[in-house]
Structure 1
């Protein structure tokens, strides 16, 4: 019994120390931020307007296809990635999946004022302007129509990799996803993205381990929460799209997670059984001594 009492005291002191130190350390290394706002309540979005996809088609194809491709509707990329990156600083996205990837209110706000919606107005001062012009001069109903059109042509389902490719790969590489062929490199050449962002965005192959699921959930939704003044824009993904991006990061950077989580309970059960047998063996040996 004496040994059990000693063990209980050691365990209690360890838990008290851990409980007192770990939360404080965590709060210093990872300050609390508000949860992700997937309704984007702070943007000037649709404001309840219902869009007309037929009208939106005319508006999108006449205003957007000079820079953006819409492969799903037969509008190919105007310039190759290198040329478009040299012209705009970053490769413009194909709009075929925008209606699925992005929150509708965010899309509307972005069309009106890209820098404000994506929270990067601080980058565009002293004569610098966002490469995409704002369409705040349009009528709110026209903006709603454009959003409705983008939603109408968007695919119903996308794989995790497809979501990552369309949402993140214009700026970020994830080389561990394809080490042999290099197809998961950033679409925008390094020299262009460095000039546009201030530095080369990090490769995301191991970000699920270096940052963790909780951090990424809030960071992608609003990078300014963690890194005030960062050049990374708020992407505007829906909750489902963001979850798919993070799932893909787990597939690439933590592919053994499921196996590890499955092994954990089995290992703990083994340790408990081993501890019981060890205690019974010790008790039998010391009984002979006494």
Structure 2
């Protein structure tokens, strides 16, 4: 009976640690953020509103302290955030006309090939990169993406927004101030129909299916490397050289080889969808991927960084069953040997 009591205590402590202490510690180290939202206009509306609310709470706290410097700073933050909230909401509202129009693919081809191929490649349509990666990175700060797959990776809404104003669409407008400009200029001078036509062309030329690796390469490898890829593929270096990406981003983006293990699926899902939720002010842009494309990126990171996950999960229940059987035999053996002593 004593052994059963000890077992009960061990099980109770284990469950308390697993279901109580560990989740609490995780919540302190990784504060909860809202789930990924792929309706970027609604997502930005919500995050802007939350930012204003937090600033107003900070003002109340500052007023209680009666520190004039803190009060003035809090008021300035509220004014700035309210102005940005207005700008953001107006930006997304201004995109609706182009989003609702039916694009003309033929006219879109003319617009894209005349306006975009000076910087971007479209390998699938016979438009190679104008410069090699090193030269492109030196010129723009980061290697421009090939446009042959963007119609698959991004929604029409996001493409419209990005064409009109890349910093606003990707949530890095805070980075391009005091004369700093985004490497891609705004194309908000285009008529809504022209933007719709351009997006229609990009959607038309996009592949119908892409592998997880292809999605990762097109969505992430311009900035991120994978040093520990599988033996067949070898190392996957970032297309943009480290010195250039460091100047552009402020630091070298992390290698993603083990990111799935160090951060986990849930963190990556919310971070890729909107890095600002976890790291306010970060230079990493919102990638803008569709839910399907983002799932493929995370799946590829699992393939590379946690390739034994399925085997490990399959082994877990078998190991627990073994422990239970071993414990039963151990208890019966002990009872048989010590029966006379007790």
Name the TM tier (shorter chain): over 0.9
Query: Residue 39 of structure 1 contacts residue 103 of structure 1 at CA under 8 Å; is this kept in 2?
Result: no
Match of 1:267 in 2: 319
Q: Is the 8 A contact 2:225 2:236 kept in 1?
A: yes
Cα 1:23/1:154, change in 2 over 3 Å: same
CA distance in 2, matches of 1:159, 1:229: 32
Q: Paired residue for 2:242?
A: 190
Check 1:191–1:179 CA distance in 2 against 1; reply closer, same or farther (3 A cut): farther
Equivalent position SS for 1:162: helix
What aligned pairs does 1:1-290 form with structure 2 within 5 A after superposition? 1-16=1-16, 18-42=18-42, 44=92, 45-46=95-96, 47-177=99-229, 184-290=236-342
Deviation of residue 180 (structure 1)? 9.0
**Aligned partner of residue 289 in structure 1, secondary structure:** coil
State the 1:52 CA deviation.
Answer: 2.3
Q: Residue 78 of structure 2 aligns with which residue?
A: none
Distance 1:120 1:270 in 2: 53
For the 8 Å contact 1:38–1:103, the answer to whether it is kept is no
SS at 1:155 equivalent: coil
* 1:112-163 superposed Cα distances (whole Å, 9 cap, x missing partner): 1000110101110110110101111212222122111111101111111111
| 1:75-122 superposed Cα distances (whole Å, 9 cap, x missing partner) | 111111111111111110000000001122111101010001101011
Retained in 2: the 8 A contact 1:175–1:185? Answer: yes
- 8 Å CA contact 2:230, 2:304 repeated in 1: no
Quote the Cα distance in structure 2 between the aligned partners of 1:180 and 1:18: 38
Residue 58 of structure 1 deviates from its aligned partner by: 1.4
The CA deviation at 1:19 is: 3.6
SS in 2 for 1:129: coil
**8 A Cα contact 1:67 1:92, kept in partner:** yes
Structure 2: unaligned runs, 5 residues or longer: 45-91
**What is the total number of aligned residue pairs between the two structures?**
290
How far apart, CA to CA, are the structure 1 residues paired with 2:217 and 2:247? Answer: 22
Give the Cα–Cα distance (whole angstroms) in 2 for the partners of residues 104 and 77 of structure 1: 24
Deviation of the 1:251 alpha carbon: 1.3
TM-score, with length taken from structure 2: 0.80
8 Å contact from structure 1 (residues 109, 117) kept in 2: yes
Structure having greater relative contact order (Cα 8 Å, sep ≥ 6) = 1
Greater than 4 Å deviation, 4+ residue runs: 178-183
Greater shift, 185-194 or 173-182, is seen at: 173-182
**TM-score for the superposition, normalised by structure 1:** 0.94
CA contact (8 A) 2:228 2:235 kept: no
